[in-house]
Chain A
């Protein structure tokens, strides 16, 4: 299915399902999420993040921001409309238990990996996101995340388009060039 058509299908699913939410298990309610974010939260969809093994507090913050329209992505704002606080907690906790996405495969350019590794140290990504980039608490997992999504997100932080929950990433991204963004994403996407 083309992305636009898939999104329409997801919206119809979400809208149709909302009144029945009380009768559904969390597993059933998560099913529409997977049509964009991939089975078990392993995304194969351009610009759409993998959700598996993201820290629960980070997921809760994002879900909350979508519900309160503090972060505006139309499809996600619609997806969590009417969610209770407990719904948000249940979704965050369940998604956090899904397996982490596999690292990007295929032949990798060692020079780019080296540059990425150096940049991770230089900009202290490894301090907040931890040395294996698995994230913790309110800091997301970036290891194995989709490369295109990482590039998109870092560019949005740098351009002040995505303000974030607090302003930490806006600060971090200021000195990072676009060439460095590409290398950072290349490296992180290839970490197990």
Chain B
């Protein structure tokens, strides 16, 4: 359905600041793959973004447009929410490693040791890496810990399309102590999802492509790093692996750059990705990559607004992509927007929704 002329739908969609009440969540609109059910894990989690699991079962939830990181604790079958850090600036990136919570804000990374033993009275985060660029556009970060026990994060391009400085548009890695910062990959625009392939141990990440080029080009990407410190993913010269930028791409060729693993839709806003190594959802989901597509704004007819399963070949190349949870877009409007995915020890899958401030749980019927 095309949007009527004069009633443009092309504007960034801001998440409402106040979470949706549990009984008003769009559960009846969300459809999940056959044999599975979707229920509310937690409501009232403002701007729920990145999901992480502690060793003792605490679920940590970050936010992007608010200043807090929350912890969800299950006690006597009930969910309790606690604030573990506040007064932060765009604390989108969080990671857990050996009991320590790492928080990536706009321009610094900090940590809280033994977080799960201090949920009621957590100390203030200690900064381990400061003075990252302070640009607001694409300044929020995704944070993950690699198999080498180092922290990985990106500094996005500070614009829609521009020639970024030599500090921007890169994936970095740094020691868990905040020392030894180095470039891990080049040529990225913005990333809000990274995970490690369970057997190949390569970094896979979703990347959001530029706006205002056209409704249908370029597509967002699923990428992987095969040559650490060397891979360049094309931004701002080449988009979607085969399309040179109309302004900055002259004199460049897409053959110079690392090809995407898969194209996942124009403006679809591919965010959280997670390899699923459990079996609680059924054998057909073992080793699939789940991807949350937050959904488009820079497109008249919205796309994305779903969670998809991506299947890869043994060598890590793309095999197929299928819908897993659909229904976040109703009549070209959002009733929710999925952000991140967290497989739980019991095999269930948690999915965050920053539009409603909620976390859902998907499990077998």
Residues of A within 8 A of B (CB): 57, 60-61, 64-65, 68-70, 85, 88-89, 124, 127-128, 130-131, 136-139, 160, 163-168, 170-171, 174
Contact = CB atoms under 8 A, between A and B. Distances in A.
Contact of A64 (B6, B18, B212): B18
Contacts of A69: 67
A160 B11 contact: no
Contact of B17 (A60, A160, A164, A174): A60
B14 A170 contact: no
Nearest to A131: B6
B343 interface: no
A128 B11 contact: yes
Contact of B8 (A57, A65, A127, A160): A127
B89 interface: yes
B159 interface: yes
B158 interface: yes
Interface stretch (B130-138, B232-240, B319-327): B130-138
B36 interface: no
B121 interface: no
Interface residues of B, number: 28
B139 interface: yes
B13 interface: yes
Contacts, number: 71
Nearest to B68: A68
Given A68-B66, A166-B64, A174-B158, 8 more contacts: A57-B16, A89-B18, A128-B12, A138-B12, A160-B136, A167-B139, A170-B135, A170-B137
B17 A127 contact: no
Contacts of A171: 136-138, 158-160
Contact of B12 (A70, A88, A168, A174): A168
A84 to B, nearest CB: 10
A89 B89 CA distance: 24
Contacts of A166: 12, 14, 64-65
A174 B65 contact: no
B89 A163 contact: yes
Nearest to A139: B11
The 3 closest A-B pairs by CB, nearest first: A138-B14, A170-B136, A171-B137
Nearest to A130: B8
Nearest to A171: B137
Contacts of A128: 10-12
Interface in B115-150: 134-140
A68 B67 CA distance: 9
